[in-house]
């Protein structure tokens, strides 16, 4: 059967991934209310298409932080991708490059910065950063990203500790013994092993610096000239602080609903962030993107680009790099159809008035 939507790739991945990895990738925090909300919130937005416009040619290309891209969708940082397929992060990044997308490498990757740079030289690459208690480790990561030609640092700001993901606790999650965190040595590389609960949460509690504040953005800016993007912003107040402390961009994100349950869906939080800082910073979004309509809606609300995490990992699990290429092709075609059917030749034609909340119509 031909795979024609993101959900098709997800179903294939469910049949291939072993339970430890599948539950790690798919689960959210707590009762997983926000996990469902990330999708449901998109369905509460109605499309308001314009008609009788020449859409013979549709061009979704864009420019983000100085990088020319084929379209406004990138691949979000997801840890330990070799649990999904041996192609791992390199396969995912190569697929992103062929699609004209950004690929964000996780700090907790099973492929090193250097190996990814060598394996996907033509892909626009950003590096997602956590701040470790041992600050020299973080500085080493930053220097490695600079040397390897990464174009931006994506600082995850919503994870002083990791959220309570019940499946990982039940499974006593550990990184399979044949894999390691490739950007590190010793305990930092091999420490995702259960001590009775979730091995990833135990690792984070022992290694990540929970004392970080906005002042650490200033520390990071002194360390590097790379653009800094704050990932994990859900409020106007924090968006304003990100601007004040010199961030170049924001990714509105609830960490795939994996940190604290009952926070808003990313698309619900997007309007207040855009209103607060949208003219000053590059505002982007991840969480819940599954079809072209979703990309369109996020752009109409004010995002300049969106990112997908789970769909890329599921496509990787299905058929490695080829699976991701196929999934991205499906998504891009869906976006192009959406643009044509709403009368948009380019991304500049996508306007806020083209999307309305369902409550607009419930009065009838």
User: For 295, how many CA atoms within 13 A lie in the half-sphere containing its CB?
Assistant: 24
Residues 351, 253, 27, CA angle at the centre, nearest 5°? 125
- Phi/psi for 219 (5° steps) reads -60, -45
Do residues 276 and 47 touch, judged by C-beta distance below 8 A?
Answer: no
Q: 307: buried, middle or exposed (CB in 10 Å: 19+, 13-18, 0-12)?
A: buried
Is 255 noted as a catalytic residue in this protein? Answer: yes
- Which has the closest alpha carbon to 65: 147, 128, 152, 149? 152
How far apart are alpha carbons 250 and 289 in whole angstroms?
Answer: 17
Do residues 57 and 290 touch, judged by C-beta distance below 8 A?
Answer: no
How far apart are alpha carbons 272 and 236 in whole angstroms?
Answer: 5
Quickly tell me which residue has 């009368």 as its tokens. 343
Q: At what angle do helices 310-341 and 292-301 cross, to 10 degrees?
A: 70
* CA torsion through residues 355, 292, 259, 145, sign: negative
What is the H or E stretch that residue 321 is in? helix 310-341
Question: Per the structure block, which two tokens stand in for 8?
Answer: 């098709």
Distance of CA 8 to the CA centre of its chain: 20
Give the distance between the most distant pair of CA atoms in the chain.
Answer: 63
Using left for φ > 0, alpha for ψ between -120 and 50, and beta otherwise, residue 158 falls in: alpha
Do residues 270 and 300 touch, judged by C-beta distance below 8 A?
Answer: no
Q: Which of 85, 164, 178, 255 is catalytic?
A: 255
Catalytic residue positions, numbered = 255
């Amino acid at each position: 059967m031909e795979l024609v939507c993101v959900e098709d790739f997800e179903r294939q991945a469910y049949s291939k991934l072993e339970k430890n990895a599948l539950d790690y990738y798919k689960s959210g925090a707590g009762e997983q209310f926000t996990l469902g909300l990330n999708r449901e919130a998109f369905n509460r937005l109605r499309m308001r298409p314009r008609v009788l416009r020449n859409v013979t040619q549709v061009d979704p290309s864009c420019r983000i932080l100085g990088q020319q891209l084929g379209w406004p969708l990138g691949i979000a940082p997801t840890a330990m991708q070799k649990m999904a397929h041996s192609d791992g992060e390199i396969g995912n990044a190569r697929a992103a490059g062929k699609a004209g997308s950004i690929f964000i490498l996780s700090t907790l990757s099973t492929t090193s910065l250097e190996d990814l740079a060598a394996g996907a030289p033509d892909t626009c690459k950003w590096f997602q950063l956590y701040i470790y208690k041992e600050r020299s480790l973080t500085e080493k990561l930053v220097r490695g990203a600079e040397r390897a030609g990464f174009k931006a640092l994506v600082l995850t700001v919503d994870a002083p500790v990791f959220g309570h993901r019940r499946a990982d606790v039940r499974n006593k999650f550990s990184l399979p013994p044949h894999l390691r965190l490739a950007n590190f040595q010793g305990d930092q590389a091999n420490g995702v092993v259960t001590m009775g609960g979730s091995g990833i949460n135990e690792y984070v509690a022992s290694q990540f610096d929970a004392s970080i504040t906005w002042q650490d953005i200033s520390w990071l800016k002194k360390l590097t000239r790379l653009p800094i993007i704050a990932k994990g912003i859900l409020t106007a107040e924090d968006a304003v602080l990100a601007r004040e402390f010199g961030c170049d961009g924001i990714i509105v994100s609830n960490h795939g609903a994996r940190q604290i349950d009952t926070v808003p869906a990313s698309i619900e939080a997007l309007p207040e962030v855009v209103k607060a800082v949208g003219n000053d910073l590059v505002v982007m979004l991840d969480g819940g993107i599954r079809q072209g309509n979703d990309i369109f809606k996020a752009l109409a609300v004010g995002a300049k680009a969106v990112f997908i995490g789970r769909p890329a990992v599921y496509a990787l699990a299905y058929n490695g790099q080829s699976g991701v290429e196929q999934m991205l092709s499906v998504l891009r075609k869906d976006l192009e159809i959406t643009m044509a059917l709403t009368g948009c030749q380019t991304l500049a034609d996508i306007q806020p008035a083209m999307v309305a909340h369902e409550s607009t119509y419930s009065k009838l």
